[in-house]
Amino acid sequence: AQSVTQLDSQVPVFEEAPVELRCNYSSSVSVYLFWYVQYPNQGLQLLLKYLSGSTLVKGINGFEAEFNKSQTSFHLRKPSVHISDTAEYFCAVSDPYNQGVKLIFGQGTELSVKP
C-alpha cells in the first residue's frame, strides 16, 4: 500500500530565508502527488499538484515542488518565505491505477516563519 513520509514535523525559519519541506512516498509504477497548506482553524488548500509531464511544478504563493522518481520524493520549496507562510503543510499521494484508492496524506510539517 502507498505511504507518505514527511521527514520534518516542524521547520522554523526566518523571514526571507529559503525553505524546503521534505516528502517521500513508497514506490509505485506511477503516482499523482499533491501539496496542501492549512492555516489555523481552516481547511486544507491545494498548493500544487503533479499528475504528469514536467517534474518541476509551480504552485500558488510562490511555492514549487520537484518530482524525483528515482528518489521517490516530492519536496516543496520556496526561495523566500513570508510571515504569512506560517501554516501546516501536507504532502499527499494517490495511485491512479489502483481502483478505489484515494489520497494518502503525510503527517504534516509545521512551518513557522519568524521575523
Partner 1 sequence: ETGVTQTPRHLVMGMTNKKSLKCEQHLGHNAMYWYKQSAKKPLELMFVYSLEERVENNSVPSRFSPECPNSSHLFLHLHTLQPEDSALYLCASSQEPEREQFFGPGTRLTVL
- If binding is defined by CB under 8 A, does position 100 make contact with partner 1? yes
- Residue 106 engages partner 1 in binding (rule: CB under 8 A): yes
111 burial level (CB within 10 Å; 0-12, 13-18, 19+): buried
d(CA 17, CA 13): 7
In whole angstroms, what is the distance from residue 73 CA to residue 106 CA?
Answer: 12
Please give the size of the binding site for partner 1, defined by CB under 8 A. Answer: 23
Binding pattern for the stretch 29-48 against partner 1, x by CB under 8 A and - elsewhere: ---x-x-x----xxxxxx--
Within the chain, where are the H helices? none
Binding residue (CB under 8 A) for partner 1 from 90, 91, 111, 113: 90
- 53 lines the binding site for partner 1 (CB under 8 A): no
For position 7 contacting partner 1 by CB under 8 A, the verdict is no
Beta pairing partners, 35: 48, 91
Where does this chain bind partner 1 (CB under 8 A)? 32, 34, 36, 41-46, 49, 90, 94-96, 98, 100-103, 105-108
